[in-house]
Amino acid sequence: MAAKTLTIDGTQISAENHITVLQAATEAGVKIPTLCHLEGVYDVGACRLCLVEVKGTAKLLPACTTRVYEGMEVATDSERLRKYRRMTLELLFAERNHVCAVCVSNGHCELQTLAYSLGMDHVRYDYCSPKWGVDATHRLFGMDHNRCILCTRCVRACWHIEGAGTKNVAGRGGKSMIITDLNEPWGNSETCTACGKCVSACPTGALSAKGSTVSEMQHDRSKLEFIVNAREKKQWSV
C-alpha cells in the first residue's frame, strides 16, 4: 500500500496508510501518553490520554483509533492537550481509591508514572471514595477493584491473546467493573486458564500475583509480546 505523508509536531513523516496516529508517532519516536493501549490487541480509546489535535478538526481525537491520511497535521503536545490529560488523570484518581503508598505496584504503576510526568501533585476534584471490594478467591492472583481504571487491557488480553473469554466489563459509568464469567468469584471460574496474561497486561495494581506486598508487583509483558510476535510472524503452526 502507498505510504501517507503527514506532519507530527511540525516534522514531516511517512506512514503506512492503514496505521493509527499512535503507531505513526511511535515509529517516528514521538511519545504519546496512553493507559489503555496494549500491543497485540485492538484499541478501544478508553483512557482518552492519547488525545491529539488534528488541523481542520475542532475536537480532540484519540491517537490510538484515528487513522492517518495524506496531508494530516497532528499536534501531540500543546497546552490544551496537557490540560486535558492532567484533568483525565485527576478524574481517574478521584473516581476510585488509589492509595499509592500501600499499593503492590507502587513505583511500577503506569498511572502513577504518568501523573509524575505531567506534574500532577494534587487532585482538584472531590474523591468519590466508592466501596469496592477485593477478589482474592483465585489461587494465584488477586483483583483489587479499588485500583482498576477500566482500561480493559485485561479483558482484551484474555479474549484475544489467551482466547479464554473469562474477563469482561459489567455495569455503566462509575459503577462499571471488571467481572469474571457471569460475575462469579474469580476462584470459581470454569473458563480461567490461570495463564496470568490479564495480570501482565494490567497497568496498575488492580491485578496482581498473590504474595506480592507493597511495591513488589511488576507487570512483565515479555510473555505477551512473545506470543503476539510469534503469531504475527506465523512461527507456530495451527
pLDDT digits (tens, 9 = 90+) for 43-70: 999 999 999 999 999 999 999 999 999 9
- What CA–CA distance (Å, rounded) separates 56 from 104? 44
pLDDT at 30: 97
**pTM of the full structure:** 0.91
pLDDT recorded at residue 205: 96
Assign 124 to helix, strand or coil: coil
Cell of 72: 494530516
CB-based contact 189:2 (threshold 8 Å)? no
d(CA 152, CA 169): 8
Domains of the chain, each with CATH number or no CATH: 3-77 (3.10.20.740), 83-230 (3.30.70.20)
Tell me the C-alpha distance between 43 and 132, whole Å: 27
pLDDT of the chain, 238 residues: tens digit per residue: 579 999 999 999 999 988 999 999 999 999 999 999 998 899 999 999 999 999 999 999 999 999 999 999 999 999 999 999 999 999 999 999 999 999 999 999 999 999 999 999 899 999 999 999 999 999 999 999 999 999 999 999 999 999 999 999 999 999 999 999 999 999 999 999 999 999 999 999 999 999 999 999 988 888 888 888 888 777 765 5
Give CA–CA dist 92/105, Å, rounded.
16
pLDDT at 79: 95
Q: Give CA–CA dist 151/82, Å, rounded.
A: 20
Residue 225: per-residue pLDDT: 83
- What pLDDT sits at residue 237? 59
141: three-class secondary structure by DSSP = strand
Instruction: State how far the Cα of 209 lies from the Cα of 135, in Å rounded to an integer.
Output: 12
Distance (Å, rounded) from C-alpha 168 to C-alpha 77?
33
Evaluate whether 140 touches 109 at the Cβ level (below 8 Å). no
pLDDT at 231: 80
Please say whether the beta carbons of 217 and 105 come within 8 A.
Answer: yes
